[in-house]
Amino acid sequence: MQASTIQFQMDVSSPAQISEAAARLRRAVQDLDVTPDEVLTIFDRWAKRLDAPELNEIPGIVFLRMWLRRGTLEPIIERELGPNSLNSGWNKGGCAECRAYPLGVIGHWPAANVEIQPILSMTCALLGGNAALVRIPRNLHQLTQVLVEGLVDSDPDEILASRIFLVAFPHDRRDLHEAMAQVVDGAMIWGGREAVLQVRALPFPHWTRLAVFGPRLSVAAMDAGTWTNKDVCETWCRRLARDVWQFDQQACSSPQVLFLEKDASQSIAEFVRFLERAFREENRAHPRRGISASLTTAIAHARASWLFEDAAHTAVFPKSPDWTLLFGSGADIPQPTQGRTLTVLEVGSLLDAIEKFDGNVQTLGLGVSELEKERLITELAAKRGVDRIVKLGHMHTFVPPWDGVDLIRPMVRMVRHVHSLESAQQ
């Protein structure tokens, strides 16, 4: 990485290092205003830098490129911050006007199981004019360095580089977590239940705004009119396989189960062939680079226990642990295995399954053949706590609202101004 640009402190050992870094970041925000339009220009260049063959195997790189493009982010900024916000303008509203100002230094605690998450989280803060103090999980050090090198090359004037400090320290160094919490004005927290609770318990200043994205799971659903239609079924299966493969099914937006609406006149045998073919093709296109012993064991156990549990259960999988399809029936969401393991459950009605959602489902990926049926499904899913209802193949598309909240607006201050002359005349 080039010198005197983005700072990546690989081995933070004392709270003082974090405090000093935060002070530098805060000065950078105070000394130079940066408009969202300027940020988008740099991000757009960064997206082009990331469009390189040697980066194509990074999980989620395609979504990161799409996210960084002006065409993706400009409408998001205008929706969240107002139509005049691209150039930090004021937006009229009744007798007042409003404008977004940065909070200051935003701390980021990304999860370790999504390779591009430190970058995605950081960009949300930068779009609001903030500085970013990011703790990088140890397993993502090298990958994150590779990704931010593209930003360094795209930011020759160091407009954003001066606002970024990436730190790395062991997860059990509570003193360093506390030092980081004490110096931030906002925090974006991602991860599993234990990790989220530990970070939320840190001594943040009373004014610090927290955006928490905790552990949830996602499911897919197809109605009978979709999977029995031979003209479109194969396409839907390819979309589903694509959603399963992204992030090796570890993301909260990864489908763990597919609910399949029964058709009394049709066997699912042909659908099984379509889905198996889609999984085999996706595996050839994007083979796994490695797998842990624990995940291999979990997949083997899931296959065996599924088949022994019920004589009606069936399964399709290769000899290797590359992917697994488990077939059965029922409206309850099974315990996720991950590792490209999809449970397919037949239900009498998709509404039967959705009726059982308990608020833990983040994304519902749909393949539905009738508009009115989809409206009913959407209404019930929303009432049952689902925050994102999307077409299969788009379950990971990272756009706000995410987990039901905006991504940029929570990390800015919306300043309201009523002109004194107008007030005096009223």
Domain residue limits, the chain: 7-214+403-420, 217-391
Asked whether the domain spanning 217-391 has the same topology as the one spanning 7-214+403-420, the reply is no
- 130 and 163 in contact (C-beta within 8 Å)? yes
Name residue, tokens 């063959």. Answer: 53
- In this structure, what are the phi and psi dihedrals at residue 393, rounded to the nearest 5 degrees? 100, -10
SS3 per-residue string spanning 17-59: HHHHHHHHHHHHHHHCCCCHHHHHHHHHHHHHHCCCHHHCCCC
pLDDT above 70 as % of the chain: 96
379-410 pLDDT, tens digit per residue, is 999 999 999 999 999 999 888 999 999 999 99
Residue 375 CA to residue 343 CA, distance in Å, equals 25
| Mean pLDDT, rounded, for 213-222 | 96
* Burial class of 357 by CB neighbour count within 10 A (0 to 12, 13 to 18, 19+): middle
pLDDT value of residue 5: 57
SS3 per-residue string spanning 196-251: HHHHHCCCCCCCCEEEEECCCEEEEEECHHHHCCHHHHHHHHHHHHHHHHHHHHCC
333-384 pLDDT, tens digit per residue, is 999 999 999 999 999 999 999 999 999 999 999 999 999 999 999 999 999 9
Q: What is the DSSP string of 287-337?
A: --S---HHHHHHHHHHHHHHHHH-TT-EEE--SSSS-EEEEEE-SSPPPP-
pLDDT value of residue 399: 87
Residue 2 has pLDDT above 60, yes or no: no
20-29 pLDDT, tens digit per residue, is 999 999 999 9
Closest CA relative to residue 260, chosen from 339, 340, 368, 363 = 368
Please tell me the number of Cα atoms within 13 Å of 45 on its side-chain side.
15
Residue 40 CA to residue 201 CA, distance in Å, equals 34
- 312 and 329 in contact (C-beta within 8 Å)? yes
pLDDT value of residue 320: 95
| Mean pLDDT, rounded, for 4-29 | 85
pLDDT value of residue 426: 52
422 falls in which pLDDT band (50, 70, 90)?
Answer: low
Q: Topology of 217-391 in CATH? A: Aldehyde Dehydrogenase; Chain A, domain 2 (3.40.309)
Which region among 108-112, 185-189, 244-248, 348-352 has the lowest average model confidence (pLDDT)? Answer: 244-248
Which region among 9-13, 209-213, 304-308 has the lowest average model confidence (pLDDT)? Answer: 9-13
Position 353: which residue type?
A
1 falls in which pLDDT band (50, 70, 90)?
Answer: very low
CA 392, 396, 398, 400 dihedral sign is positive
Indicate the class that CATH gives domain 7-214+403-420: alpha beta
Residue 217 CA to residue 258 CA, distance in Å, equals 12
Cβ within 8 Å of residue 209, ≥6 positions away = 103, 185, 186, 187, 410, 411
Residue 326 has pLDDT above 70, yes or no: yes
What's the Rg (C-alpha) of the chain?
A: 23
pLDDT above 90 as % of the chain: 88
Residue 401 CA to residue 287 CA, distance in Å, equals 31
pLDDT value of residue 4: 43
- 129 and 206 in contact (C-beta within 8 Å)? no
Q: pTM above 0.75?
A: yes
Closest CA relative to residue 344, chosen from 252, 421, 236 = 236
pLDDT value of residue 382: 98
104 falls in which pLDDT band (50, 70, 90)?
Answer: very high
Residue 225 CA to residue 230 CA, distance in Å, equals 10
Position 193: which residue type?
R
- 106 and 100 in contact (C-beta within 8 Å)? no
140-160 pLDDT, tens digit per residue, is 999 999 999 999 999 999 999
281-307 pLDDT, tens digit per residue, is 999 999 988 899 999 999 999 999 999
pLDDT value of residue 10: 65
